Amino acid sequence: MEETEFDDILDDWFIESLKTYKDLHVYQLEHPTQVIEWTSGKTVCVAGFTSSKNEILELRLPLKLFADENKGLCAERDFKVVHGGFTDAPVRCLRHIPGTRCVVTNDGLSSDLQVWDLGGDDSDVIRRTGSVDGSRGVSEGGSRIAARLSSQPQVLHGAESAGVRLTQLTSGQTVYTLETDSADPLSSLHFVSDAVFLAGCSNGKVYIADTRTSAAPQLSPPPPSSGESVLWWTDASAGPSCLDPSSCRIVRLSSCGQTVISDLRNPGGAVSRAQLDVQTRRCNADDVRVSWAPALDDCIAVSGFSGAVQIYSSSVWTTELQEAQPLFEHRGHAVSSQSDDGVPVFVTSHVWHPERPRTLLSAASDGSVHVWDWVDQSAAGC
Amino acid sequence: RSCILVSIGGKNIMLDCGMHMGYNDDRRFPDFSYITQNGRLTDFLDCVIISHFHLDHCGALPFMSEMVGYDGPIYMTHPTKAICPILLEDFRKITVDKKGETNFFTSQMIKDCMKKVVPLNLHQTVQVDDELEIKAYYAGHVLGAAMVHIKVGSESVVYTGDYNMTPDRHLGAAWIDKCRPDILISESTYATTIRDSKRCRERDFLKKVHESIERGGKVLIPVFALGRAQELCILLETFWERMNLKAPIYFSTGLTEKANHYYKLFITWTNQKIRKTFVQRNMFEFKHIKAFDRSYADNPGPMVVFATPGMLHAGQSLQIFKKWAGNEKNMVIMPGYCVQGTIGHKILNGQRKLEMEGRSTLDVKLQVEYMSFSAHADAKGIMQLIRMAEPRNMLLVHGEAVKMEFLKGKIEQEFSIDCYMPANGETVTVTTNPSVPVDISLNLLKREMALGGPLPDPKKPRTMHGTLIMKENSLKLVSSEQALKELGLNEHQLRFTCRVQLQDPHSDTDTLHRIYTHLKSVLKGYTIQHLPDGTVMVESIVIKVSSSTEDPNTKVLLLSWSYQVKQELFWYCGEI
């Protein structure tokens, strides 16, 4: 595409964005990231995933975003690299341990985890402090990781359903192991309360277990019409604050765009379904993300199928499988990417801001990171 | 404030001479006592180089040259030379006239200071003296900003000043060739930021202007007149056209004059691509932007006005501000930093009640927006620059050591070079390996090559024998004979002798013959001769035999050799 042509399309999108976004920030990292993880209300961690040397960065979000009343007086629009570190392997999964300055990573090559100290005010270096052994055996996709606030820092991890373990970070001791009949590769792990967690498998199965008991986990089979090569991703809403199981929702998204929402009390049943408008021509298991909005009702964000992040409102969905249109689509990455090799850009990760209802961060394969606060154009909905 | 002293090859250079905008007392000036405790600086400095016109890089220049005292050359680019005095005068007016300060430079001092300026062109080597040369490179950032390459002999330093690596609408990106300086000096402050894109900043600007206009408000944009105003005008014009907006946009007349002058300056400084954009757009012939008349400020309805000066400290922009401040529908957009003491500075600090002349107060009800459009390099940019210049060492200034360890590690790892981070007042010494270029005479070169062995390999040094002659400014390596000839000296040959005693009853001749035979058998590959004059020669070593006068059975071997004899040969001789 000619430069002027590209500029025009980009200008058009930016002009359109005046109405469709409240805030918009566009950044370019030196290397693309597959992870975006909150380490505090104002900082996130990102990391590279090349096969050799990579950086882990803790970035502070622009002050302007948080300035609120005096927003106009704050000109500060940039990310600040507050801490940085080096790793010799790719970072495929990164999780912050709440209540600590610790993050845990997995390189996607084995099920072992690396433990890091993000550092405080006296240094800007992120240092490796140790590791956590994963379960032995075949593991292709690398481990999923989950953590919640607890008196003793603990991490829940595993690459397959049989072998998910809860490990104490300081002692390295395993305090709980999930036992399942089959070893299904995992696509996600989530805590829904201090003790209850969800293990979402790539084949669509969901295990619900309680770390306090040794009772067998509850198994929810894959949604119907799931084929052999179909992959599934899961998210559970309202994590640690979910005291009432009925308000905990599970969303399952397939590589064909089929979405099923169930609630925790009855994970096998479907509260609602929809066929999402996702391009399924390319689908890398590593990149797809589906997430519930933490501060909006019934809103789900989906990314990884293309260069866009889509927001859906599930409140209008029914138990009948019908096509759903996104409430909002962030096409910033696709529009502003100038790929030299003809490979289209795709979104590698997204996260919602924990408190600001419509603010998200998204990252793409070209190294771009966007922070955006979208405007809900519809009358009803989120 | 930026002010760096570099000592290289016996030369002392001052890089930038900035003012610290946060202090009101003498701490705002650099501490020149590092150069000399009292007295003028002329004898201690070979030159001063200013990177660009921002006050934190040139604000203390007239103070240094006229109040402390410096009469040597001050180098800066043409645009910097044109713009500096304007900014310095504005700054002086605010500080002295408005704030009533006394220890400050005068208008005459600014003029006298600028008389010492020698303007630089891009990529042109300037000989400061016969040993020190400097060259300016394009830095982007603001009009006339330069990075400077300083060379003394084979040692060099590159100082970046402020620069940016992403081109924008009116400035290109910084560029430098693979000059491989011994040290690259750069700001660290921006190295730990990742910058929001230019388009997002522009978007924000358009959004704010549009929102105000939509609700019938008036937007005042105080500008310095140079560069940014032009860019923002083009932006608004494009937007107005696209959105078919009707509200009028004005620029004040003071702007036009300065801008025309700036335009001419600018056009010769900028690159081809940007020149084209500007030439197409005939300076102030915009479709939607018209010249302002002060009576328009009272017109009802929405409008946008660009007016000078940029910090609301006087003139037209202040007049308009006073009229519009009381209406909350209106807006003022400050596009840059404001010096302490100005209204701009006060409102950016959130002040909503201002004391004006004649004890009247002004209620600030309009919306105040601070937008920064300045272009600075970031973490990625600094790595790009290092890749371009390939320095042997890196020096980061103006950062906090604990906050730069990661960057230091990153640079050291990726480029395998040392990275220094001195604090203000600290001295860093960087050891360089200067290469001394020496000419070699053709004869000597041929002779060395004729000695055989592997071809000259830069990685495998070989010892050679020659004489280094230093004549005037040239160094030449010649053979010893040639050196002696050139110097008119006689060659002296040194021969060493030693006497070895042997117990041998045979005659002198027989003993000699036995020695000859023995040496011939053990020293294969060497030339051994039994000469008719009664000596044995092993290469150039001479062996004579004589009997001791006291005892005919004791033979004395006289060994004589010249300086160049090979060690191993000598050892064999000892075997006898």
Chain A residues with CB under 8 Å of B192 CB are 80-82, 124
**C-alpha–C-alpha distance, residues B422 and B407, integer Å:** 14
The DSSP annotation for A71-98 comes to GGG----SEEEEEEEEESS---EEEEET
**C-alpha–C-alpha distance, residues A205 and A211, integer Å:** 19
Mean pLDDT of A19-31: 93
Nearest chain A residue (CA) to B166: A28
Please give the C-alpha separations between residue B494 and each of A312, A355, B497, B564, B565, in angstroms, as whole numbers. Answer: 98, 92, 10, 10, 11
**C-alpha–C-alpha distance, residues A314 and A33, integer Å:** 29
Tens of pLDDT along A113-123? 999 999 998 88
Mean pLDDT of A180-192: 89
Q: What percent of chain A is predicted at pLDDT more than 70? A: 91
Chain A interface, best mutation among B164, B165, B188, B197, by max A CB count within 10 A: B197
Read off the tokens for B162.
């402020």
**Paired residues of A166 in beta bridges:** A156, A176
Read off the tokens for A58.
């803790």
Encode burial over B199-230: b for 16+ CB neighbours within 10 A, e otherwise.
bbbbbbbbbbbbebbeeebbbbbbbbbbbbbb
φ, ψ of residue B62 to 5 degrees: the values are: -65, -30
Chain B residues with CB under 8 Å of A30 CB are 379-380, 383
Closest CA to A362 of A275, A291, A313, A312: A291
DSSP annotation of A266: B
φ, ψ of residue B109 to 5 degrees: the values are: -65, -40
Separation in Å, CA of A21 to nearest CA in chain B: 10
DSSP annotation of A221: P
Read off the tokens for B402.
């604990």
Q: How confident is the model at residue A280 (pLDDT cuts 50, 70, 90)?
A: low
Write the residue in B197, B207, B406 that is nearest to A124 by C-beta. B406
**Interface membership of A77 toward B (CB under 8 Å):** yes
Mean pLDDT of A232-260: 79
| B187 among known catalytic residues | yes
Chain A interface, best mutation among B168, B198, B202, B203, by max A CB count within 10 A: B203
Nearest chain B residue (CA) to A12: B242
Burial class (CB in 10 A: 0-12, 13-18, 19+), B12: middle
Chain B interface, best mutation among A56, A73, A123, by max B CB count within 10 A: A73
**C-alpha–C-alpha distance, residues B59 and B18, integer Å:** 5
CB contact under 8 A, A27 and B197: yes
Write the residue in A15, A59, A74 that is nearest to B194 by C-beta. A59
Residue A380: its pLDDT value, please? 45
Residue A381: its pLDDT value, please? 44
Residue A56 has pLDDT above 70, yes or no: yes
Per-residue pLDDT of chain B (576 residues; tens, 9 = 90+): 789 999 998 999 999 999 887 777 788 889 898 888 888 999 999 999 999 999 999 999 999 999 999 999 999 999 999 989 988 988 888 888 767 777 889 999 999 999 999 999 999 999 999 999 999 999 988 889 999 999 998 899 999 999 988 877 667 789 999 999 999 999 887 888 898 988 899 999 999 999 999 999 999 999 876 667 777 888 898 899 888 999 999 988 666 666 666 766 767 676 555 556 555 555 556 788 888 998 999 999 999 999 988 888 888 899 999 999 999 999 999 988 888 888 999 999 989 999 888 888 999 999 999 988 877 888 889 999 999 999 999 999 887 777 788 999 999 999 999 999 988 888 889 888 877 888 988 888 888 777 766 666 777 777 788 889 888 878 999 988 888 888 888 888 788 888 888 888 888 888 888 888 888 888 888 888 888 888 888 887 888 888 888 887 888 888 888 766 555 555 555 555
Chain B residues with CB under 8 Å of A25 CB are 196-197, 200
**C-alpha–C-alpha distance, residues B412 and B403, integer Å:** 16
DSSP annotation of B220: E
Q: Which residues contact B257 (CB under 8 A, 6 or more apart)?
A: none
Count A/B contacts: CB-CB distance under 8 Å: 105
Read off the tokens for B282.
């005939």
Give the three-state DSSP class for B73: coil
Chain A residues with CB under 8 Å of B196 CB are 25-27, 62, 77-79
Q: Which residues contact A7 (CB under 8 A, 6 or more apart)?
A: none
Average pLDDT, chain A: 88
CB half-sphere exposure, B56, CA atoms < 13 A: 13
Q: In degrees, to the nearest 5, what angle opens at C-alpha B206 toward C-alphas B201 and B211?
A: 130
**C-alpha–C-alpha distance, residues A329 and A309, integer Å:** 6
Is residue B252 within 8 A of residue B215, CB to CB? The reply is no
In one-letter notation, the amino acid at residue B441 is S
**C-alpha–C-alpha distance, residues B386 and B527, integer Å:** 59
**C-alpha–C-alpha distance, residues A57 and A33, integer Å:** 10
CB contact under 8 A, A27 and B196: yes
Is residue B406 within 8 A of residue B195, CB to CB? The reply is no
Model confidence, pTM? 0.83
Chain B: which residues have CB within 8 Å of chain A?
192-197, 199-204, 206-207, 210, 238-239, 242-243, 348-350, 367-372, 378-380, 383, 402-407, 409-410, 413
B355 CA to centre of own chain: 45
Write the residue in A15, A29, A74 that is nearest to B194 by C-beta. A29
CB half-sphere exposure, B31, CA atoms < 13 A: 7
Q: How confident is the model at residue A98 (pLDDT cuts 50, 70, 90)?
A: very high
Chain B residues with CB under 8 Å of A369 CB are 194
Mean pLDDT of A146-154: 92
**C-alpha–C-alpha distance, residues B68 and A313, integer Å:** 70
Q: How confident is the model at residue A352 (pLDDT cuts 50, 70, 90)?
A: very high
B368 CA to centre of own chain: 38
Please name the residue that has the structure tokens 């089979």. A221
Active-site residue identified among B66, B155, B187, B202: B187
Q: How confident is the model at residue A71 (pLDDT cuts 50, 70, 90)?
A: confident
Contacts 24+ apart (CB under 8 A), B88-96: B88/B55, B88/B58, B88/B59, B88/B61, B88/B62, B90/B309, B90/B311, B90/B313, B91/B19, B91/B55, B91/B59, B91/B339, B93/B313, B93/B314, B94/B311, B94/B313, B94/B339, B94/B341, B94/B342, B95/B339, B95/B341
Chain A residues with CB under 8 Å of B380 CB are 28-30
Taking the alpha carbons at both ends of chain A, their separation in whole angstroms is 37
